[in-house]
Structure 1
């Protein structure tokens, strides 16, 4: 048994101090960074080849979809942005970081009023609601796999008088929209998709002439890897992110016969580190309310899952803060259909 699995096994039974959990996560990050250090384009090509053998989606968010909306309302910022936020200064608040990340996303995607826009994996609607408000003459279609998310976004759109936003629930394995779109945007959904080639091929057919596809994903600087359910050390894969992957920053280049990267941007991992730290602070502040919401799902295992969710937030902070944010980070790509 490794040191990491021993610590996690102990923490499953009794609470451990954050410093111990952080040390275990740091060790796991170091091990993974060392393993990925020598990965190159050939490794990405091999990884992309293995992805082709999988279905588009394999239930990557299974550990999170059943969690009540009240949990995310307590942990996330005012916009309920369940993805990386952008901190311009040391004094930036979570709300300000949410808004700056949304502003940059809109800018990088090249969005404009009057466009038809499809968002894949809309989560709790932070970007879709932002787009619908900022571009009143645009037609926004938001796609989620969660009925709870759809209900929340629709309620918010109605409350805000946003008549240009439509929300649908769909399995990405079979989703097929009506018509074509000027822009397709996806924020931290492709990490839950396994067969990028199959999905990207479909996406290209959904784009209008001169349309663009924008994607935000978390990435490692050099190597792609899976969250392995069989790895006893990787409890995130076992309990929270089953079936997910961490792409390299360059993995998208393996699909340049489908989409050509027109422009790309990189955010330091420290932005996600601070995002997770702010979520963790909210978690601790609203612990009683969070415990009550989780009890509806986990029952007698609520105490265990409270610890697991804190570990997830700690792990996110440690992972993206590793090596001062230079190892793992966030990548933006604006792409056009390959000729």
Structure 2
């Protein structure tokens, strides 16, 4: 308990300093590493049985929760920002998720395309299939599939009118008629349709009740459908995302995004990339 209280206090103190946007990048990185180290000290338990017991208890606790919580807050802080901002900080495909750099010389755009191609390979996408892109963001994967597999029909679900408008504009510019975008809260959305492939990229880590979510998704799958999931995780333990920015500080966007980008870089680079990572899973319907 004392360690958890110390971690909470340290987190609050660090965020208070970061929000003022006065710290050099080197100091911000150092603070981030200290918080990550503290997170690992809290996450790793003394023995393998205790570690497994904690993970099982965490999983059972999720079953008592709704599919997702505070979706409006994430929407306001990320997805309803002007698309012009994301054009400045993302690659040409506006892929707001992990990329794949096959070698050190890869550009961000190359890494976006490499990961999009890897998704299609691992999800076993074939021309002519019906595709559901759950949590499609700015449509990087939906548009990639629509261009590469012209006979596929793609339905994307996002929770932002800004994202929908951007994707539909891209469809008009590229003369794509095989993409449909639906704005909806995935935790509440229902439909009477089925698809050959369902893909979810970096959405599951924001969810809570995976059983309820997978039950919902399975209702959209045909008997031979496949569900491909890409999410980021820690190699050993699971934990809830922490509330770092409240309503009173949501306007401090410069400090927020600067810290966010540094934190993501430090998170995936910690211990030479050996702690946090992205994982790919392919599911069949029971």
Q: What TM-score comes out, normalization by structure 1 length? A: 0.76
- Summarize deviations over 1:197-237 as a string: whole Å, max 9, x none: 101011112101111000000010000011222xxxxx3xx
* 1:165 and 2:113 correspond: no
What are the Cα deviations for residues 236-286 of structure 1, in whole angstroms up to 9, with x where unaligned? xx359xxxxxxxxxxxxxxxxxxxxxxxxxxxxxxxxxxxxxxxxxxxxxx
What aligned pairs does 1:1-339 form with structure 2 within 5 A after superposition?
Answer: 2-13=9-20, 15-38=22-45, 40-60=51-71, 61-62=74-75, 63-229=77-243, 235=244, 238=245, 301=251, 304-338=252-286
Cα distance, 1:114 vs structure 2: 1.0
Distance, in Å, in 1 between the alignment partners of 2:279 and 2:21 is 37
Kept in 1: contact 2:204–2:231 (CA 8 A): yes
Count matched residues. 270
What's the secondary structure of 1:35's corresponding residue? Answer: helix
Q: Aligned-pair RMSD on alpha carbons?
A: 1.8
Contact 1:59 1:192 in 2 (8 A): no
TM-aligned CA distance change 1:115 to 1:14, over 3 Å:
closer
Please identify, of 60-69 and 96-105, the stretch whose mean Cα deviation from structure 2 is larger.
Answer: 60-69
Q: Secondary structure at the match of 2:219?
A: helix
Shift of 1:14: 5.0
Deviations 1:73-111 (A, max 9, x none): 111000000000000111110000000000001101111
Task: Flag the structure with more relative contact order, 1 or 2, with Cα contacts below 8 A and sequence separation at least 6.
Answer: 1
Shift >6 Å, 4+ stretches: none
What is the CA-CA distance between 1:44 and the residue it aligns to?
2.5
Shift of the 3–180 alpha-carbon distance from structure 1 to 2, 3 Å rule, reads closer
Structure 1 range deviating more: 220-229 or 10-19: 10-19
CA distance in 2, matches of 1:224, 1:334: 20
2:230–2:278 contact (8 Å) kept in structure 1: yes
User: Residues 176 and 335 of structure 1: is their aligned pair in 2 closer, same or farther, counting only changes over 3 Å?
Assistant: same
In structure 1, what is the Cα distance between the partners aligned to 2:82 and 2:275?
A: 32
The 2-side partners of 1:33 and 1:200 are apart by 29
Give, in whole Å, the separation in 1 of the partners of 2:223 and 2:11.
Answer: 51
Deviation at 1:3, TM superposition (A): 4.7
- TM-superposed CA distance for 1:4, in Å, is 4.7
**How far apart are residue 179 of structure 1 and its match?**
1.6
